[in-house]
Amino acid sequence: MSSPQTQYLRIHGGPDPQGVPLHDFSTNSNACGPCPRAQTAVSQADATQYPDASYTALRRQLAAFHGVDVQRVLLAASASEFIFRITALVAQQGGQLVGLPPHSYGDYAQAARAHRLAVTDLASEAQLRWACEPSSPLGAAQAGLEGLVDETCAFNVLDRAYEPLRLEGALALSEARLQGFWQLWTPNKALGLTGVRAAYAIAPAGAHGHEIALEQLCPSWPVGAHGVAMLQAWTCPDVQAWLAGSLNTLRDWKARQMAVCESLGWICLPSHANFFCARPAVPGGVALPQVLAELRTQGIKLRDTTSFGLPGHVRISVQPPAAQDALHNAWQHIIRTAA
């Protein structure tokens, strides 16, 4: 029987009880990072003072960056914090159903369970509907976005965590339709600074006072001085120029990495982002988790997508050529040993 502690362990990529992986393919942080200007801003943040409790200057910067009214900008401690907060508001207002894509970030469902809301598919009459584009774990387009917004649902949330890391394609949503979504942004991935926890949401053009209700559910100072510094840097032209340049590098690395995976007999699924899913060629009689555990002992971590509802696959972020070669060599060694 599992202990109460292990019962509530959540599955994520990144550091684990074994520490920081030498070659971490399990998180979708920008492998070109950290962004120098953003990292400097964070390191120079004044941690001896509280931020402005209203985040006046920061909210104005973010509003100008996105071309929206300042009252539409809400700060969040992280994307996960906002996911739980907006789910709490839906439950508070009598909601009963949360709609999820077929494969999605686990905190959407976790927040629903925490507030005793049922999880259903997006075609239902859910009071809270989640979408993510590029999606996770697939990094693909989210089907049916245009038809998602309607007057029957006040809370349609588009998680845009990976939009800044899109390597091809474009959001298949008109600007008018986009204004009907809550948009959730987490720049720390694009900047290669995932250890800095800070995010923000943009309320729909007609939020009907729900942005005020969400502010009332928010604790004081959700974003600390380091998070403020990162978000302020995010809006700077030179930081955006660095990001644009990094995407060119990531495109080259991605093409190479998919070729490496395919040379191992893996089946790679299409993706628009800096990550993709693949079905590794595991020998008969060997379980994929066993191989992934062996890779982890060699300092290489991949993300098993079973928890996303995609068993037999891994999600792997694009990494530099040296990491790709390490994965290739370690995998070949494991397969030879297993044979």
DSSP per-residue letters across 65-109: HHTS-GGGEEEES-HHHHHHHHHHHHHHTT--EEEE-SS--HHHH
Q: Determine what percent of the chain falls in helix, strand and coil, rounding each to the nearest 5.
A: 40, 15, 45
Average pLDDT, the chain: 92
pLDDT (tens digit per residue) in 169-202: 999 888 888 999 999 999 999 999 999 999 999 9
What region, left, alpha or beta, does residue 108 occupy, with left being phi > 0 and alpha being psi -120 to 50 degrees?
A: alpha
pLDDT, mean of residues 19-47: 96
pLDDT (tens digit per residue) in 265-276: 999 999 999 999
| 8 Å CB contact between 338 and 283 | yes
Tell me the one-letter amino acid at 287.
A
pLDDT (tens digit per residue) in 309-338: 899 999 999 999 999 999 999 999 888 887
pLDDT at residue 3 in the model: 43
| 8 Å CB contact between 78 and 186 | yes
pLDDT (tens digit per residue) in 89-105: 999 999 999 999 889 99
What would the CATH number be for the domain defined by 36-236? 3.40.640.10
Is pLDDT above 70 for 8?
no
Is pLDDT above 70 for 81?
yes
pLDDT at residue 1 in the model: 41
List phi, psi (to 5°) of 22.
Answer: -65, -45
| 8 Å CB contact between 238 and 303 | no
User: Residue 152: which pLDDT band, with cuts at 50, 70 and 90?
Assistant: low
pLDDT (tens digit per residue) in 111-128: 999 999 999 876 568 999
pLDDT at residue 2 in the model: 41
In this prediction, what percent of the chain has a pLDDT beyond 90?
77
4-28+239-338 topology per CATH: Aspartate Aminotransferase, domain 1 (3.90.1150)
Choice between 147 and 203, residue whose per-residue pLDDT is larger: 203
If DSSP states are collapsed to H, E and C, what string results for 42-54?
Answer: HHCCCCCCCCCCC
* Lowest-confidence pick of 6-10, 56-60, 274-278: 6-10
Question: 50-80: string of b/e by CB count within 10 Å (b at 16+)?
Answer: ebeeebeebbebbbeeeebeeebbbbbbbbb
Domain edges within the chain = 4-28+239-338, 36-236
Two structure tokens written together for 155 = 């809370």
User: Residue 244: which pLDDT band, with cuts at 50, 70 and 90?
Assistant: very high
Map tokens 């074994």 to a residue: 18
